[in-house]
Chains A and B, each alone.
Chain A
Amino acid sequence: MAPLIETRDLTLHFGGLRAVDGVDFILNAGEIHALIGPNGAGKTTFVSLLSGRRLPQSGSVLLEGEDITRLPAHLRVRKGIAYTFQITSIFPRLTVFDNVALAVQSRGTRDLAAQTRAALARVGLAGLESQEAQTLSYGHQRLLELAMGLALHPRLLILDEPTQGLAASEIEGFKALVEGLVPETTVLLIEHNMEVVMDLATNITVLNFGQVLATGTPEAIRANRAVQEAYLGA
């Protein structure tokens, strides 16, 4: 069977900056795959090529063998690729319910209210439905962002720095949540917190200067000398 996501020689340069430079990448269904690398390594740009927020200059993106390189973002979402934003991007003046309902209704479901409540309950925001989203605490806004992603019932959930700004207790809850998603949902995670990465990830890809430096299990990555030099700073 074809991998869930495959990229071939994927490239996007901004002027002289090689943000993503010939990346070959494979993501198998059921993984929690972490994408790590120093700041400016091209992680966010790379996932925005997967989600369709940007289009590459060359190379291709395959979803289960189907070429989706030029597919508009909203159609990729409908095919099951969900993206949660690095900088919390919710609808601040809408209620918590409406925020998630927008995600649910784009799938064309019958039971809008129940599914919306289910997604909220899953991240622990039950009972806050009628609150305006901008009145939530920062941690709750991150959870709302996650609920919006989950409500899409994605096959692939891309999380861009989901634990940034969360308290230690919130991070524990988040880890449990993500572990509960697999194997129905495959997770691609951009993360700076190495503890979270080592605990959660089944596979890790290291990006540096827009190129794949290494890929492998957490143990293999930890032992990889090139990674240590470039990134872990050992």
Chain B
Amino acid sequence: MGESVKPFALHLALILALAVALAVLPPYPATMLARILVLAVFAMGYNLAYGYTGLLSLGHALFLAAGVFAAGLSAQFWGLSAGPALLLGVLAGGGMAAAVGLLALRTAGVSFMIVTLMFAQAGYLTILYFGPITGGDEGFTLPAASRVILGFDMSTDTPRFVAALFLFAIGLLVSLALVRSPFGRSMVAMRENEERSRMLGINPFTVKLAALVISGLYAGAAGAAYALLFGYAGANFATIQYSILPMLYVLLGGAGTTIGPFLGALLMFVLIEGTSRLARLWPVLEGMDYFVIGAALVVLVLFAPRGILGTLRERGLKWLP
């Protein structure tokens, strides 16, 4: 197989394998896989900003929550159906990323991390402040009527799985196409040597802003899909945890690899699910999921900063996109 065909074949094979898995798995693990796929879309967006462009954000929860609430609130108050609500969510994520980026991208490195963190925190508090509308800490359940796309009811298993897979497949293929395009090369140039790229006629601010907005579109799509597929919108999506999770998935699977975010999300779910099963036998482990997350972060950053696929790529699989 040619060097340019291999990655494409790999991605198609992954999508196919996931379709089979969703079809044959029992409802509980299949629903879990659908959740993983939606969160993987979020992580893929994070990866475009961090893994490829080098923008280490601690505020992506804000873009996710923008998607969740744009879809959730428009369904709740305007009776929007799932299709338009999803679209609105995508746009809200991208718009929020544009607004944050215009300010935050004047800074870099640690300052950028803190500025994005602060914006996300302000967003979270704002959701709480408008509790009567947003449902505050408790959130709200989406009206059943709004969870229908093209006549398919997203509260039932099969349509939900198909929708999750569809979204994931689009996200994955778009991200593959993007990172192999000239724009993708410019994104990587930001990560590797911003000053040099300026002297090649590239405007770093524009590239970084565009990458962040694309990343926000992914986050918005994931947020809106999560709300519509699982029927719930809540302030917890805006907490710092949801900024950390995509970072963790990306670090684990491999920053700057197209499949890394999915792999990281999958492994983290398995790890946490495993811990909670152990906890049933051994109650001291009750609620240790955050401990596992914390330990995973420390171990990754110490021993495998390139993640699983990043390490594989370094060890010979150079064609991995």
Binding site for B on A (CB under 8 A): 51, 53, 72-75, 77-78, 82-83, 85, 89-94, 98, 101-103, 105-107, 112, 148, 152
Contacts and interface: CB of A to CB of B under 8 A. Distances in A.
A89 B200 CA distance: 11
B165 to A, nearest CB: 33
Contacts, number: 63
Given A91-B189, A98-B185, A106 B199 contact: no
Q: Give the interface size class of chain B.
A: 10 to 19
A75 B206 CA distance: 12
A89 B192 contact: no
Contact of B199 (A51, A105, A112): A51
B203 A89 contact: no
Contacts of B198: 73-74, 77
A105 B185 contact: yes
B201 interface: yes
Contact of A102 (B189, B195, B203): B189
Given A91-B193, A92-B192, A93-B192, A102 B200 contact: yes
B195 A89 contact: yes
Q: Which 4 A-B residue pairings sit nearest by Cβ, starting from the closest?
A: A106-B201, A77-B201, A105-B182, A91-B192
A152 B192 contact: no
A101 B182 contact: yes
Contact of A101 (B185, B192, B203, B204): B185
B196 interface: yes
15 contacts: A51-B199, A74-B198, A74-B199, A74-B202, A74-B203, A74-B204, A75-B203, A77-B198, A77-B199, A83-B199, A85-B199, A94-B188, A98-B185, A105-B186, A152-B200
B182 A112 contact: yes
B192 A94 contact: yes
Given A53-B199, A98-B188, A106-B202, 16 more contacts: A73-B198, A74-B199, A74-B204, A77-B200, A85-B196, A90-B193, A91-B189, A91-B192, A91-B193, A92-B192, A94-B185, A94-B189, A101-B185, A102-B189, A103-B201, A105-B186
